Chain A
Amino acid sequence: MSLVSFIGFALILVGLWGMLTRKNIIRIIIGFSIIDTGIHLVMVSIGYLPGRTAPIINSAVDKAQAASQIVDPIPSALVLTAIVIGLAITALMLTYAVRMYRERTSLNIDDYKELKW
């Protein structure tokens, strides 16, 4: 549905804004997680067909007419992979944040100036 894709897109914009403006490292990681959720919403909303049901063949969906009664199973499969990978990347980023804090006792990204020109 196009409404869900707009919601996902708005979440991506909010997350992008948060990643660019906030200074606390934990909030930057929260912004990244928000962008992730928005992207997944957009991807699942592409596979939706109005009036159809879940892609599982049981008493509700007949095996012979499955192609006319189900939504697209492929975006669901891709998003499943993407959600798990998002968790792994968030855990790794938080580990980096903990290590950075251990070295310099500051969660403010302005204090880490080595990579600036």
Chain B
Amino acid sequence: MSIVIIGTFGAMMIGAAIFALYSQNILSAIISSGVISLLASIIYILLAAPDVAMTEAAIGSGLTTVVFLLALRRIQVIQAEKGGAAKAGKSASGLGYGLGSGDGSAEEAIDD
């Protein structure tokens, strides 16, 4: 029974990991890395390690996601301020708000 549960969670974790690396929007990538930590903390409970589960839930899906989002917000602010100057330069970064994926592929360098 618990093999089925662990197997399901494992498949969900790997799916979330692949989604986090290949999604279009970088915000969903960050949230989905928080989901991986949440599922890992459930697996830790099933492995009889409650201290580790508590720590992983608090730090992995709490503070790490918040730190990612704070850094993303700072990058947005810098992008807005320097947006006028950088428009004439190469490969505007495009944080993925409907501007395409964040992997620097060819359709992203709008102003090339």
Chain A interface (Cβ < 8 Å from any Cβ of B): 1, 3-4, 6-7, 10-11, 14-15, 17-18, 22-24, 26-27, 29-31, 33-34, 37, 40-41, 44-45, 47-48, 52-56, 71, 75-76, 79-80, 83-84, 86-87, 90-91, 94-95, 97-98, 101-102, 105-111
Contacts and interface: CB of A to CB of B under 8 A. Distances in A.
A4 B75 CA distance: 37
Contacts of B18: 14
Contacts of B36: 11, 34, 37
Contacts of A75: 49
B102 A41 contact: no
Chief secondary structure at chain A's binding surface: helix
Contact of A4 (B43, B68, B104): B43
B48 A101 contact: no
A44 B30 CA distance: 25
Contacts, number: 166
A40 B56 contact: yes
B110 interface: no
Chief secondary structure at chain B's binding surface: helix
A110 to B, nearest CB: 6
B52 A76 contact: yes
- 10 A-B pairs closest in CB distance: A7-B10, A108-B104, A24-B102, A23-B104, A94-B71, A18-B21, A107-B93, A105-B86, A14-B17, A76-B49
18 contacts: A3-B6, A7-B9, A7-B10, A11-B14, A17-B21, A22-B21, A24-B26, A24-B102, A24-B103, A27-B29, A37-B40, A40-B52, A40-B56, A41-B43, A76-B49, A76-B52, A101-B78, A105-B86
